[in-house]
């Protein structure tokens, strides 16, 4: 596969969407039971545990449009932003998986109204999808930041400046000059 701007933006966009979809899926299914009280079951997505990841994923999707809309130094700046967003996704996911007990405990505290301990939880493996996708977003941002992608499409349709004396009648009409009027 060729390292082109189109391919990099496609990979970055697909990875960002994969992160966004994975964040909406249940990451933890936790249960708390106490004698004399009903059992409390929580099915928590990453968005419910830590909203930072959702914002980073949405910003990464929007930055793909920024990479398309800009050129030159501004595209390189957008590449740096994409790199930072990818790193942020990876770091936030590591933070979430490392402190999962704390985040689930906070959710139980909100659901029950007091601090509880002794709950049981089962986790899913969505973090193993989000971390590589975040790395891909960061690598795409790094490539966009470091490589110059000057497209030939816009240059192909730009008019070339030339002198009035050197123009053929058709070229003069194309540039808005009346060839019948002497200059």
Domain with 141 in it: 15-149
Q: How far apart are CA 151 and CA 149, in angstroms?
A: 6
Please state the pTM of the whole predicted model: 0.76
pLDDT tens digit sequence for 115-162: 887 888 888 999 999 999 999 999 999 999 998 766 555 555 555 655
**What is the pLDDT averaged over residues 50-79?**
92
In this predicted structure, the answer to whether residue 41 has a pLDDT above a threshold of 70 is yes
Q: What's residue 2's pLDDT?
A: 77
Distance linking the first and last C-alpha atoms of the chain: 53
The count of domains in the chain is 1
In this predicted structure, the answer to whether residue 99 has a pLDDT above a threshold of 60 is yes
The reply to whether 31 falls in a domain is yes
The reply to whether 76 falls in a domain is yes
The reply to whether 33 falls in a domain is yes
């Amino acid at each position: 596969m060729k390292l082109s701007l189109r391919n990099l933006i496609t990979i970055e966009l697909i990875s960002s969407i994969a992160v966004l979809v994975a964040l909406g899926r249940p990451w933890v299914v936790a249960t708390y039971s106490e004698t004399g009280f009903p059992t409390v079951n929580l099915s928590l997505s990453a968005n419910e545990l830590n909203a930072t990841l959702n914002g980073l994923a949405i910003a990464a999707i929007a930055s793909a449009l920024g990479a398309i809309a800009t050129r030159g130094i501004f595209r390189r700046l957008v590449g740096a932003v994409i790199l930072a967003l990818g790193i942020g996704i990876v770091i936030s996911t590591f933070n979430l998986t490392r402190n999962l007990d704390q985040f689930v405990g906070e959710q139980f505290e909100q659901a029950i109204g007091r601090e509880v301990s002794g709950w049981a939880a089962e986790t899913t493996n969505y973090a193993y999808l989000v971390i590589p996708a975040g790395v891909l977003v960061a690598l795409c941002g790094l490539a966009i930041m470091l490589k110059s992608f000057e497209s030939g499409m816009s240059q192909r349709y730009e008019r070339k400046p030339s002198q009035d004396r050197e123009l053929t009648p058709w070229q003069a009409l194309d540039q808005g000059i009346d060839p019948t009027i002497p200059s």
